[in-house]
C-alpha cells in the first residue's frame, strides 16, 4: 500500500471516529439521569427564549457554543488522533491500543477543563455531588474515547504496519 492511500485511509478513519464520537456524546448523556436533566433544562430554556420569555445572560449562547466546540475538539478528535499517530508510527494493530488509549486520553481531558476557576474551589473543598458528577463525566468521556478508538481501528488501525511489497520476504 503506498503512502498516499494509507494517508487517505488514516484521514477517513479519523473523520469517521470523530463523527461517531460526536454523535455518541449526546446519546450516552441521554442515558445518564443527571446529564439528561441538564439537557432538558437547556432545551426548555431555548424554547422559552423562542416564545418570548426573558433571556438569561447575554453571552450564554456564545459560551455554550464555545464549550461545545472545545469539547468536540478535545473529546472527539484529539484523543483518537493522538492514539492514531502513536499507533501508526509504532505500527500497532491492537484494538486494545486504539480503544483504551483514546478512552484514557479522553477521560483525562476534564482535568484540564474544569468549569470553575482554580481560585474559587480546590479539590479538597469540593462537595461530594460535584465530585460524583465529575466522575460520571470522566466515565462518559472514557466510553466515548473507546467508541472513537474502536471506530478508527475498524477503518484504519487493523492495517497499521501492514507488510509492503518492498519488505515482503525480508527479515525486519
**What is the pTM (predicted TM-score) of this model?**
0.71
Q: Quick check: 27 pLDDT over 50? A: yes
**Where are the alpha helices (H) located in the chain, listed in sequence order?**
3-31, 33-50, 60-71, 78-90, 95-108, 128-155
Domain of 154, in residue numbers? 8-159
- Looking at residue 52, its pLDDT comes to 62
Q: How many domains does the chain have?
A: 1
Q: Which of 35, 38, 25, 29 is nearest to 77 (CA)?
A: 25
Cell (9 digits) for 69: 466546540
167 in a domain, yes or no? no
List, for residues 65-84, the tens digit of each pLDDT value.
666 677 777 888 899 999 99
2 in a domain, yes or no? no
Q: What average pLDDT does the chain have?
A: 75
17 in a domain, yes or no? yes
134 in a domain, yes or no? yes
List, for residues 128-166, the tens digit of each pLDDT value.
566 777 788 788 889 999 999 999 999 987 777 665 555
Amino acid at each position: 500500500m503506498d503512502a498516499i492511500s494509507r494517508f487517505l485511509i488514516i484521514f477517513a478513519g479519523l473523520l469517521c471516529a470523530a463523527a461517531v464520537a460526536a454523535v455518541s456524546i449526546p446519546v450516552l448523556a441521554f442515558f445518564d439521569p443527571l446529564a439528561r436533566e441538564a439537557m432538558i433544562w437547556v432545551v426548555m430554556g431555548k424554547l422559552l427564549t423562542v416564545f418570548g420569555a426573558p433571556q438569561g445572560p447575554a453571552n450564554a449562547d456564545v459560551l455554550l457554543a464555545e464549550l461545545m466546540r472545545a469539547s468536540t475538539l478535545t473529546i472527539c478528535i484529539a484523543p483518537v488522533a493522538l492514539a492514531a499517530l502513536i499507533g501508526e508510527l509504532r505500527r500497532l494493530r491492537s484494538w486494545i491500543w486504539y480503544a483504551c488509549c483514546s478512552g484514557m486520553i479522553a477521560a483525562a481531558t476534564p482535568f484540564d477543563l474544569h468549569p470553575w476557576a482554580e481560585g474559587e474551589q480546590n479539590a479538597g473543598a469540593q462537595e461530594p455531588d460535584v465530585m460524583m458528577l465529575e466522575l460520571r463525566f470522566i466515565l462518559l468521556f472514557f466510553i466515548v474515547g473507546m467508541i472513537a478508538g474502536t471506530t478508527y481501528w475498524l477503518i484504519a488501525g487493523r492495517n497499521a504496519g501492514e507488510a509492503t511489497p518492498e519488505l515482503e520476504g525480508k527479515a525486519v
